[in-house]
Structure 1
Amino acid sequence: MSVSFEIGILPNRPVSECLSLSGQAEEYGYGGVWIADSQCVMRDAYILLSQIALQTSRIRVGSGVTNAITRHPAVLANSWATLHEVSNGRAILGIGVGESAVHTLGFKPDRLAALENKITLLRALMKGQEVEYQGCRFHLAWCDVTVPIVMACSGPKSLQLGGRVADGVLFQVGADPALVRYALDNIRQGAEQAGRRFEEIKLYMRVATAVSPHRDMARDQIKGYASVAAGTVFKTVPREYFSDDLWSQLEEFKAKYDYFEHGSNRAKHQALLTDTIIDTVCIAGSPEETIPRFKAIADMGVDAFVWPANMEDAGHFIQTFADRVMPAFAAEGQAITKQVKR
């Protein structure tokens, strides 16, 4: 089975730029575009998703990711059934417990049991079935569709839940193969608990990425999203996977993180990103040094890499990656086998 490279877009830039980047991603052969949903920090994800769906014809269109706290399950189900129609079946519902979208409103992230229930509700609602939620019974009167639900996961319990109930798992645990193995092991454990075949679960790895012939530029431009990734990894991956030095660096960084500058390339907290943190959570540098890192992880059984194009000149990085990295996989006939899944 081949490996797909996909783009994440944080709509903290003008809508016209987001649409242009999505068009470039389709033109250059990427497999999907994922749009972040965070109402206080970025432009509206769902308006953008619908525009991308209408202006593209091949590329998958997903949320990277949404939540069911700021958006009621009925609202979410209705949006995704509509996006399924608008995109001619290319929509992917990426969902998580909520991070910046909920923190900036003073809410708490969903508990995993609540998220599991909401995923069940979403599937039923999109099939037109009646559900009960918070003491009320309701259904969507017009739709009967199936939209893939991909759960964003990083912690052990969430990874296991994704393995139990989701069509796919979008995991963000950094770029160290040992951390990737930790994620895959937990997804497999969840799948086995539910009597599911691990091979049936689509494995998306979200990883901060920047590739350029100019190594220093790549590592500088990655810092906006590296800040997001570092915070997620610190908060969710168990302590035993980190050295004392790296843990101390991450702890200092997270203590000064500002959610109102979430994903910003101008955020003050990015000054605390050390080379050690960047190498742990990112794949950033020249094509020659990044291609082997992608290949090593793809050989572990990952289906797709989703990298957020959050640089100032994101179009340049999207094209460079397509020109300099993707051919290294195509040249091998995309022969990435899921040997560890067997």
Structure 2
Amino acid sequence: MAFKISVVALPEHPIEEILNLIKKVDELGLHGFWFVDETYHKDCWIIMAAAARETNKIIMGPAVTHIYLRDPTHIAQMLATLSELSKGRTAAVISIGNLIMLQQYHVKWENTRPMERMREAFKVIRALLEEGKVTFEGKHFKYTGLFTAARPYGKVTLYMGAMGGPRSFQLAGEIADGLMPALGYSAEFWKDVQENFKKGVQRVGRKLEELELASWSVVSVARNADAAKEAAKTIVGFYIPSMPPRQLRMHGIDPETVKEINNAFFRGDVETVIKLTTMDIVEKLSLSGSPEDIIQKLKKNFTPYGVSHLVACIIDPFIVKFFTGREIPGLPDFVEQARLLKEEVAPALS
């Protein structure tokens, strides 16, 4: 089976530049172009709608969208509309959401049975996508005779996004078309994901080979490996506060040792976050370096545990300058990094 390569964007770029990036990635023949659906960035749904008419093959969708800040019926309505616009080139990753952003919205998600909420959300989204109407009586969501004119152009693939642990990975095996954990780079992490995903699949009698394990990863690739790692250093620290302690430990990182990074993040102290992000942390929490470096890490830590799809959050010169004001000599632009992944990394894994 061919190893899939997709890219994911933090939509900070000027809109015309983002649309141009999507068109170029489409021309390269990558599998998908995914967007972060968070208030911090430009609205991904509007961008994807604009891109739908300017692309031909590439899959587009949110990675991730979320079930605390968005109602599942609205997610289904938007997905169906985007599917019609793109003639079926739509998928989505559904998750609880960015836990840091939920705090900023004062959303109390702890002790609200989030996995139960996720199970209900998937039922609601599938019902509205497949039937155009939903009547549902759950503990978290309730609808009576709700319907929509938005109809998808064929099946919309629904992944579940997860980071926390066994229960979420197992649930994905029960209800989703695939599982896309974020920020997992170690063999220990992916072994745990695979084992628990498989448990969920077997519990409900599904076929593992019909589902997909994908990885949402921070990626920086360049001929100059040092430039790529330096670029990753500018962003890796900002993801640490969103990583559960269990996940950090699976990467050989004691949560106590990154408390100062977390504190700096919550103060909005960008410079200190980057300064405290050591190259050891970069090595553990990113896919960065030369194409060969990335191939070797994927072969060692990812593909032995069933990962068949890399969703690369590319750290390009624009993102580096946006966060730091710096330029890194030898760091390729977004499209060139996507090309290296498509032409050099993917063939080595297929």
For Structure 1 versus Structure 2, the TM-score category normalised by the shorter chain is 0.7 to 0.9
State the match for 2:163 in structure 1.
154
Q: CA deviation at 1:236?
A: 5.2
The equivalences for 1:1-342 within 5 A come to: 1-39=1-39, 41-99=40-98, 100-109=100-109, 111-127=114-130, 128-132=132-136, 134-145=141-152, 146-156=155-165, 157-235=167-245, 237=247, 239=249, 241-243=250-252, 246-258=254-266, 268-296=272-300, 297-313=302-318, 316-328=332-344, 331=347, 335=350
Could you report, residue by residue, the CA deviation over 1:254-304 in whole angstroms, capped at 9, with x for unpaired residues?
A: 34323979xxxx564232212222111111112232221123323432121
CA separation in 1, counterparts of 2:190 and 2:297? 12
Q: Is the 8 A contact 1:209 1:307 kept in 2?
A: yes
Q: Is the 8 A contact 1:73 1:122 kept in 2?
A: yes
Which residue identity is paired with 1:282? S
Question: Helix, strand or coil for the counterpart of 1:6?
Answer: strand
* Structure 1 residues not aligned, in runs of 5+: 336-342
Q: Is the 8 A contact 2:5 2:346 kept in 1?
A: no
CA separation in 1, counterparts of 2:104 and 2:24? 31
* Structure 2 residues not aligned, in runs of 5+: 320-330
Q: Tell me the TM-score normalised to structure 1 length.
A: 0.86
Alpha-carbon spacing, 1:7–1:108, altered in 2? closer, same or farther (3 Å): farther
Q: CA deviation at 1:324?
A: 3.7
Report the RMSD for the aligned CA atoms in angstroms: 2.6
Q: CA deviation at 1:21?
A: 1.8
Which residue identity is paired with 2:19? L
Q: CA deviation at 1:321?
A: 3.3
Could you report, residue by residue, the CA deviation over 1:185-219 in whole angstroms, capped at 9, with x for unpaired residues?
A: 12112212222122221211111110112222211
CA separation in 1, counterparts of 2:281 and 2:2? 30
Runs of 4+ in 1 over 4 A off after TM superposition: 329-332
CA separation in 2, counterparts of 1:171 and 1:178? 14
Question: Helix, strand or coil for the counterpart of 1:56?
Answer: coil
Q: Is the 8 A contact 1:63 1:92 kept in 2?
A: yes
State the match for 1:339 in structure 2.
none
Count of matched residue pairs: 327
CA separation in 1, counterparts of 2:49 and 2:246? 32
Q: Is the 8 A contact 1:154 1:236 kept in 2?
A: no
Q: CA deviation at 1:58?
A: 0.4
Question: Helix, strand or coil for the counterpart of 1:237?
Answer: helix
